[in-house]
Structure 1
Amino acid sequence: MTAILRAILVVLSFVTLTGCLFGGGDRPYTGPAITLIEVHKADRKMYLLSGSEVVKTYDIQLGGNPIGPKQFEGDGKTPEGAYVITHRNPRSAYHLSLGISYPNTAQVAAAKAAGKKPGGDIFIHGQPNRRGARGGDWTAGCIAVSNREIEEIYRMVNPGTVIRIFP
């Protein structure tokens, strides 16, 4: 094998590996830092902001019982209030996911006082890995977008980003 052919193979291997690391060959996000996520449940919209500027807008799907704040495990509601993105999960049961810090201390106490569990495992995620895309409000309380959109959001949003969820 000639040196030139070997060099070409090394470059092609690097390009392939880089594509695997960054999701199908997409480049890492290089735009303005996302400092805030706003979710407007009634409008089924999610906004990614940098400071006060809206960088991206997404149509969303919510829990199967979306009106009102999440209070208890299994209520099918999406939380309302201020939280933070806790972590990224590349091996989610849905196509990628970003953890949301629900429940807070007050929500845990309120559920406990009612003799119930507050629930948890609330995420922004894509569509189910084992089934096709779903329409309407179908999650157990999460915020769902298309798989292409979660790939973009996953690159743009870092753990620690504030997320405000409005009715």
Structure 2
Amino acid sequence: MKSQSTLLVICSAVMLALSGFSFFHRNKTATVSKKPVRVSSNYRIVIDKSHYELKLYDEEGWVSTYPVVFGTSEMTDKMMEGDRRTPEGHFKIIAKKLHPEWGHFLLLDYPTQTDLEKFNTRKSQGVIPANAKPGGGIGIHATRRNEDRFVDYYYNWTLGCISTKREYAKELYDLLPVGTEVTILH
């Protein structure tokens, strides 16, 4: 029985390694820090990629901090469609929808005019391929069902979006109106 358990652990480790699935845990615990939520129509979000945090503010200041994960552990700005990077800059929530896989989804207005200018400059300088596209569909959303642990282990799994636990995504979805400003920092 012991050899079967050992074999199962080894096989699981090999499968995870082959799939590029690497968990890493930071020294901090993925928890939500909150003040009592105030009723406000003037919220704004600041996402800090280097600290894996989404901070919610209102006109009086800080309200809550939520743990988040991204597309890739390469914490640079999104360059083109398919690179799995999370864009940096200033955005707005332009739509709210329920996604069949990712639950509560807050769609951002990526690419903005600024993003398109950066994209075209990179393309003209040969930094990205001539046939590249800027991409789109970036948002803040939940993990897939039964995958909240990805947030606990800071596992970046999205295609460039910002993901948090299902309960936190629902809370943000219920709280934030379309038009909410979102800043994403390196």
Instruction: Pick the TM interval, shorter chain.
Output: 0.7 to 0.9
Higher Cα Rg, which structure = 1
Q: 1:112, 1:83 → 2: CA distance?
A: 19
4+ residue segments displaced more than 4 Å: none
The alignment-based identity, stated in percent, is 27
TM-score, normalised relative to structure 1: 0.75
Q: 2:42, 2:162 → 1: CA distance?
A: 18
Q: Is the 8 A contact 2:95 2:178 kept in 1?
A: yes
Shift of residue 65 of structure 1? 4.0
Determine if the alignment matches structure 1 residue 39 to structure 2 residue 75.
Answer: no
Q: Is the 8 A contact 2:71 2:158 kept in 1?
A: yes
Q: 2:185, 2:100 → 1: CA distance?
A: 25
Shift of residue 109 of structure 1? 4.2
Q: Is the 8 A contact 1:66 1:78 kept in 2?
A: no
Q: 1:151, 1:89 → 2: CA distance?
A: 11
Q: Give aligned pairs, total.
A: 138
Which residues of structure 1 form unaligned runs of 5+?
1-28
Which residues of structure 2 form unaligned runs of 5+?
1-36, 124-129
Q: 1:150, 1:33 → 2: CA distance?
A: 18
Q: 1:110, 1:82 → 2: CA distance?
A: 13
Aligned residue among 108, 114, 118 for 1:100: 108
Matched letter for residue 84 of structure 1? K
Shift of residue 49 of structure 1? 0.6
Shift of residue 63 of structure 1? 1.0
1:141 alignment counterpart: 160
TM-score, normalised relative to structure 2: 0.68
RMSD: 2.0
